[in-house]
Chains A and B, each alone.
Chain A
Amino acid sequence: MNKTVNQKAWLFVVPVVLLVAFNAIIPLMTVVNYSVQETFGDNTFFWAGVLWFEQVLNSERFHDSLMRQIIFTATILAIEVPLGVAIALTMPRKGVWVPVCLVLMALPLLIPWNVVGAMWNIFALPEIGLLGRMLNGIGFDYNFTRQPEDAWFTLILMDVWHWTSLVVLLSYAGLVSIPDAYYQAAKIDGAGGWAIFRHIQLPKMKRVLTIAILLRFMDSFMIYTEAVVLTGGGPGNSTTLLSIDLVKIALGQFDLGPAAAMSLIYFLIILLVSWVFYTLMMRNEQQ
């Protein structure tokens, strides 16, 4: 039997191929192109091999910003995930308060990122900001523009304020999908609050929590706008996270080669961590 081969079908995938090409492949390849070459302007390029990669991987500066980035992401995950789950657990599951709570929770997510940064910057200013004045008023020597610890404190507080809602909403979605029968069965089986959380709620939230953690990991690892508006990476370099450092190298110093190499390393770190995490969670699921 002869199979009819109809090549016209390819036409249907052209739009998506074009979209992905312009959206992802071409920009990425441009970066790859810069990362292996040296340029002195005039659009002349010399082959540089893995020079930039070696330079970035061996630079103290990259190590420092990477370390800051890891500390930042680990801290906000350690706060936002348990806090988000805890808030979701206390939210009502039925009644008139449900929409109210949901809208209140969603509000921070609707604010443009640079506005979040600006808001918190003004909010935390020691002389005129509500938070800054209050903290100083009750006896703390708080000034996020001068003291690194204060800058970190403000940065983390801002992120927690901005993004815990996402964890809450996802966890809440997982919680409300648990049928009443599970709670009834638990009651009959004499399970206490902790046992219900451990054996019913947590397992049922596992999928959404995996997604929440992944999203929060990726977003926080790439955080730029809010942080740059709030602290600009300072005081000094104390809150210069990876993306801020990258922009400084690429657009501040115009070192395109190292910046491109750093972008790729940055990208691969995120990809690798996400993949490992997701695989581990899903493998558990199957067992």
Chain B
Amino acid sequence: MAKITLDDLRHSYMPNPTAEDDWALKQLDVDWEDGGAYALLGPSGCGKTTLLNIISGLLRPSHGRVLFDGKDVTDLPPDQRHIAQVFQFPVVYDTMTVYDNLAFPLRNRGVAEADVDKRVREIAELTDLTETLNVRAAGLTADGKQKISLGRGLVRTDVNVVMFDEPLTVIDPHLKWQLRSKLKELHQRVGVTMIYVTHDQIEALTFADQVVVMNLGEVVQIGTPVDLFERPQHTFVGHFIGSPGMNVMPCEVSGGNAYVNGVRVEAANAHACAADAKGLEIGVRPEFVSFADDGLPVRVTKVSDAGRFQIVDASHDGGSIKLLVAEGDEIPADTAKLKFDSAHTQVYDGGWIVGAKGGAA
């Protein structure tokens, strides 16, 4: 077990990166606490897997260091870092039995057979593999194989961190939920640091205590699921997390008040804006927009029923805006006025939240 520190980390797949776009990972300074459950969330191609491979030692970063408990491991190969990784597609040794699969990492390290047996049975119990121990691994279903991969990681007693690279991609939908709860349960029982890479916000938010949102090779926000929802540090986080995503529209700020199309709207951090700032945007989640007697004038263009609530599309002079209305609530037929919940409305400058410039920049 260990605390993982990424110090001034950058990586490029090119030999001589020059332009900003040449970097697959731009600049990372992150601390992962020992025993935490982290999710790395971001769209495809944002550098999640690159980062994971750097932590596991499969890839050497072009710049910066990786520290486990303060010890520099940047140049150590994967097998000496005491990490475990579960891949997107199940990796099992087909010709071996489940038992031999689980024993493989221990036997490679020369552990005595009696200890191997004890440990394998323990882990098999944890991962629900006891009944299939003597079956050939090739005969298992995808979720069984992912459990073997996980078990092979956990079987070593010295494991620092278990990493998951989109481990549920090939799992049937009805088993995804089960396996995810199993992971969560294992995290609580074993207490080892886990890093879970995914582009699925539900997986990330349900698995992790702390979610690291990445975009275009940089970390845009690290926070609890609640943080990400209520106070997105970047408009990208607002868009990417939540369904439907955050509304973002151009605005102006003067005298500590925000204006959209000349109409004053509430915003938590409007007072923090520089008076002459240009290109400001205001962001508010559909959950925090409601109809009111007074506010931003809009025309309702579409209503879609999503079961327990209705998603209303409304248009104003500068674009469109979405809001959620509880099921059964009345929706104005044509023109209406909207009000934003001031505590959950933020002004963004160049994509980043104004005032408390958090996250990595």
Contacts and interface: CB of A to CB of B under 8 A. Distances in A.
Interface string B106-136: 0011000000000000000000000000001
A146 interface: no
Contact of A188 (B84, B88, B89): B84
B95 A188 contact: no
A94 to B, nearest CB: 13
B88 A190 contact: no
Nearest to A206: B95
A218 to B, nearest CB: 27
Interface stretch (A70-78, A122-130, A177-185): A177-185
Given A179-B89, A200-B93, A184 B108 contact: no
Interface stretch (B34-42, B75-83, B259-267): B75-83
Contacts of A192: 108
Interface in A167-182: 179, 181-182
Majority-rule SS of B interface residues = mixed
A287 interface: yes
A173 B94 CA distance: 19
Contacts, number: 55
B79 A187 contact: yes
A185 B78 CA distance: 9
B91 A181 contact: yes
B104 A189 contact: yes
A278 B317 CA distance: 73
B272 to A, nearest CB: 46
B346 interface: no
A188 B160 CA distance: 12
A181 B88 contact: yes
B210 interface: no
Given A192-B108, A203-B95, 13 more contacts: A181-B91, A184-B53, A184-B56, A184-B85, A187-B78, A188-B56, A188-B85, A189-B79, A189-B105, A191-B108, A203-B93, A203-B94, A287-B136
4 shortest A-B CB distances, which residue pairs?
Answer: A190-B79, A190-B108, A181-B87, A185-B91
7 contacts: A184-B56, A184-B58, A184-B85, A184-B91, A185-B85, A185-B152, A199-B96
Interface of B: 53, 56, 58, 77-79, 83-85, 87-89, 91, 93-96, 104-105, 108-109, 136, 149, 152-153
Interface of A: 179, 181-182, 184-185, 187-192, 195, 199-200, 203-204, 287
